């Protein structure tokens, strides 16, 4: 039901309710008044007749001989007087003529015969009994109306007249009230009330239409704006709000316009992202299958068709157990992995019914969980052929590196290159003036080594459009981190920062370019020291987790505001007053080039913790994870 309809109903229903209640109350009061007046007039008329008889009968009886009679003889005399007295008949006829609701007045004897009546045809007949008017008046209001309009009848008012000391009356005066006359008296009032009710209904409907149109005019414009947003038609200029329109509505209209622009941008980005994901899945050699929380397939890469021999249209909507039945060894492994919430990595399996014959594949399964609740939200299955495809992987790796390094610009690199060359030149001059073993020679060597490392960093900026020639070799993270701790110790001491280093083993070998990885880690360590302006503790820790070396750098600095967390790794973004915004962007890219990951958590006022994860290097070979990353 629309808001306009609800508003109209909210106006019409109360008005109609009030009109009906007031009409019913008015009708009830009118009916009770009419019935009461009719009953009072009937009782008054009957009382007048009784008073007349009390005066007329003794007068007529006194003129009759003999004067002494028995009670029975006296009753008979009285009945004869009533039957024969013309004055009584005239009185009854005049009383009926003067009363609107009474149609007949009768005087009935103790034997039930009509002695006198305003209707001469009823004389001598046995009286027909009618419902008592007083008892009928005690009925419910709606019962009285039903009787009057559905089955109208007559009602009587009875006044007995008897002798003192005797229970049985001699006469009974009855006034008969006609329900038909009452109905005709009520009909004009009912028509009037009906006219008022329908007029109120019409006015309430008109009022509801006017009020709803006026009140919802602004909402209608907001609705049109929302419709435009849902249809993606947010390029249109929003109509300026009317002068009389509420400021709140104008503010909402303005915010909706801004929201529409943001929605359009987000929708465009989502379309581009979806297109990119689809293109990526098309080009991947591995078959990717993504299942939702219920286990229903929602995304499948084209490579899955080639490996499994199923068309994606056939796989769409199928459940995980349909593609990997529990009756097969692979299905049993998949089911166990999902139930236990443990991933599968490179599980070797032979697909006997592959399109090109039996095919050995490596299957990986990852149970996707919600970050905070750890509830399962989906399942990701990756299937790739066991034989290495080094050439394709190499191309993908180069493309990835180029895409990341292209984020950096050469402008900053040129600015650094010129003074760096000058420093190197003057350092050579200084070196030539010193003896090889003279004082300061060791420091000169350290400076020379660091300048070379900086030179390589600058060249990386300048060569961002060309593949980076990584000098990969075995690097011991423990030894490298001790060296980094020594480099920052002087700056840390000046800021009253205590640098602590922990390692769960004597060595932590990885395969890396030593200079690049050193610079990447040093950027984070220096940032941590600079974040603790009032001193604190900087913890550097190395641990082994499965096939990965995990490096943790934790400070007790000012932290990173939540609204800035997404921008931390953006190029040229910095929270420091004189920061260049290059350090963390470079760190992020270097970690990517080494098939690693970097994450962080931060709480304002309490500090920030960074985690580096690198594929472990053991026995002269990279781990399975590092090999897969290529």
Q: What is the pLDDT of residues 153-190, one digit of tens each?
A: 778 888 887 765 566 777 788 888 877 777 777 777 77
Between CA 424 and CA 426 the distance in angstroms is 6
Residue 438 structure tokens: 């003279």
> Is the dihedral angle over the CA atoms 490, 491, 496, 500 positive or is it negative?
negative
Identify which has the larger pLDDT, 435 or 518. Answer: 518
Among the listed residues 566, 220, 580, the one whose alpha carbon sits nearest the alpha carbon of residue 415? 580
Q: Tell me phi and psi for residue 605, to 5 degrees.
A: 85, -10
Are 576 and 530 a contacting pair, CB within 8 Å?
Answer: yes
Between CA 253 and CA 548 the distance in angstroms is 53
pLDDT at 188: 79
Write out the CATH class of domain 468-629.
Answer: alpha beta
Between CA 329 and CA 308 the distance in angstroms is 16
Between CA 214 and CA 219 the distance in angstroms is 10
Among the listed residues 137, 139, 131, the one whose alpha carbon sits nearest the alpha carbon of residue 174? 131
Q: How many helices (H) and strands (E) does the chain have?
A: 19, 18
Mean pLDDT of all residues in 23-32: 76
Mean pLDDT is lowest, of 70-84, 474-488, 570-584, for 570-584
Q: pLDDT at residue 457 above 80?
A: no
Name 367's Cβ contacts closer than 8 Å, sequence gap at least 6: 337, 338, 341, 342, 343, 376, 379
Q: pLDDT at residue 494 above 50?
A: yes
Residue 405 structure tokens: 């390094």
pLDDT at 68: 52
Q: Tell me phi and psi for residue 490, to 5 degrees.
A: -65, -45
Mean pLDDT of all residues in 137-155: 72
Q: Tell me phi and psi for residue 77, to 5 degrees.
A: -60, -45
pLDDT at 623: 36
Q: Where are the domains of the chain?
A: 3-192, 218-237+245-272, 284-387, 468-629
Give the containing element (helix H, strand E) for 481.
helix 477-494
Are 516 and 592 a contacting pair, CB within 8 Å?
Answer: no
Q: Which CATH number, 1.10.1200.10, 3.30.1120.80, 1.10.30.50, 3.30.450.20, labels domain 284-387?
A: 3.30.450.20
Residues facing 102 on adjacent strands: 177
Q: Which tens digits make up the pLDDT trace of 95-139?
A: 888 877 787 888 888 777 888 888 887 787 887 877 877 777 777
Residues facing 274 on adjacent strands: none
> Residues for the chain: how many in total?
630
Between CA 582 and CA 163 the distance in angstroms is 127
Q: Which tens digits make up the pLDDT trace of 213-238?
A: 776 666 666 667 676 666 666 555 54
Among the listed residues 382, 349, 376, 351, the one whose alpha carbon sits nearest the alpha carbon of residue 364? 382
pTM: 0.33
Q: Which tens digits make up the pLDDT trace of 515-548?
A: 999 999 999 999 999 999 889 999 999 999 888 8
Report the alpha-carbon angle 131-135-140, nearest 5. 110
Mean pLDDT of all residues in 362-387: 80
Between CA 404 and CA 325 the distance in angstroms is 41
């Amino acid at each position: 039901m629309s808001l306009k309809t609800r508003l109209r109903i909210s106006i019409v229903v109360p008005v109609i309710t009030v009109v009906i209640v007031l009409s019913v109350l008015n009708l009830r009061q009118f009916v009770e008044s009419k019935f009461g007046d009719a009953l009072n007039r009937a009782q008054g008329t009957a009382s007048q007749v009784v008073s007349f008889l009390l005066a007329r009968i003794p007068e007529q009886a006194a003129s009759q001989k003999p004067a002494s009679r028995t009670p029975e003889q006296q009753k008979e005399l009285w009945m004869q007087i009533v039957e024969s007295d013309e004055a009584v008949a005239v009185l009854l006829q005049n009383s009926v003529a003067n009363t609107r609701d009474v149609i007949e007045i009768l005087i009935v004897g103790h034997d039930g015969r009509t002695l006198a009546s305003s209707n001469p045809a009823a004389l001598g007949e046995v009286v027909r009994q009618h419902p008592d008017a007083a008892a009928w008046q005690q009925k419910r209001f709606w019962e009285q109306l039903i009787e009057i309009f559905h089955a109208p009848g007559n009602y009587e008012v009875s006044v007995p007249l008897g002798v003192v000391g005797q229970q049985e009356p001699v006469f009974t005066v009855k006034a008969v009230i006609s329900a038909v006359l009452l109905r005709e008296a009520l009909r004009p009032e009912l028509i009037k009330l009906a006219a008022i009710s329908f007029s109120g209904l019409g006015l309430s409907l008109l009022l509801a239409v006017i009020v709803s149109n006026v009140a919802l005019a602004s909402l209608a414009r907001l609705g049109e704006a929302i419709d435009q947003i849902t249809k993606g038609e947010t390029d249109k200029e929003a109509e300026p709000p009317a002068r009389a329109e509420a400021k709140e509505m104008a503010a909402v209209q303005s915010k909706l316009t801004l929201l529409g622009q943001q929605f359009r941008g987000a929708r465009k980005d989502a379309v581009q992202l979806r297109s990119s994901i689809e293109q990526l899945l098309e080009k991947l050699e591995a078959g990717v299958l993504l299942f939702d929380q219920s286990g229903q397939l929602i995304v499948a890469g084209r490579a899955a068709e080639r490996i499994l021999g199923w068309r994606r249209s056939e796989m769409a909507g199928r459940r995980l157990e349909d593609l990997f039945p529990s009756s097969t060894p692979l299905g049993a492994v998949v089911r166990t992995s999902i139930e236990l919430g443990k991933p599968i990595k490179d599980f070797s399996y032979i697909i006997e019914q592959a399109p090109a014959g039996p095919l050995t594949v490596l299957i990986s399964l990852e149970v996707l969980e919600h970050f905070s609740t750890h509830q399962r939200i989906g399942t990701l299955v990756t299937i790739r052929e066991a034989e290495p495809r080094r050439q394709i992987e190499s191309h993908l790796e180069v493309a990835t590196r180029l895409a990341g390094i292209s984020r950096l610009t050469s402008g900053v690199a040129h600015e650094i290159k010129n003074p760096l060359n000058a420093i190197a030149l003057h350092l050579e001059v200084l070196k030539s003036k010193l003896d090889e073993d003279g004082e300061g020679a060791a420091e000169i060597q350290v400076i020379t080594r660091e300048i070379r490392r900086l030179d390589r960093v600058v060249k990386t900026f300048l060569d961002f459009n060309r593949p980076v020639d990584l000098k990969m070799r075995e690097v011991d993270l423990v030894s490298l981190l001790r060296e980094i701790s020594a480099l920052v110790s002087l700056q840390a001491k000046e800021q009253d920062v205590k640098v602590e280093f922990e390692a769960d083993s004597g060595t932590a070998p990885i395969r890396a370019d030593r200079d690049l990885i050193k610079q990447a880690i040093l950027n984070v360590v220096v940032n941590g020291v600079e974040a603790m302006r009032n001193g604190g503790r900087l913890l550097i820790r190395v641990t082994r987790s499965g096939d990965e070396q995990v490096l943790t750098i934790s400070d007790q600095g000012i932290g990173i505001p939540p609204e800035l967390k997404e921008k931390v790794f953006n190029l040229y973004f910095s929270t420091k007053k004189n920061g260049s915004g290059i350090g963390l962007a470079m760190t992020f890219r270097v970690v990517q080039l080494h098939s690693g990951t970097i994450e962080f958590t931060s709480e304002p006022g309490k500090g920030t913790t960074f985690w580096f994860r690198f594929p472990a290097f053991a026995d002269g070979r990279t781990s399975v994870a590092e090999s897969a990353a290529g």
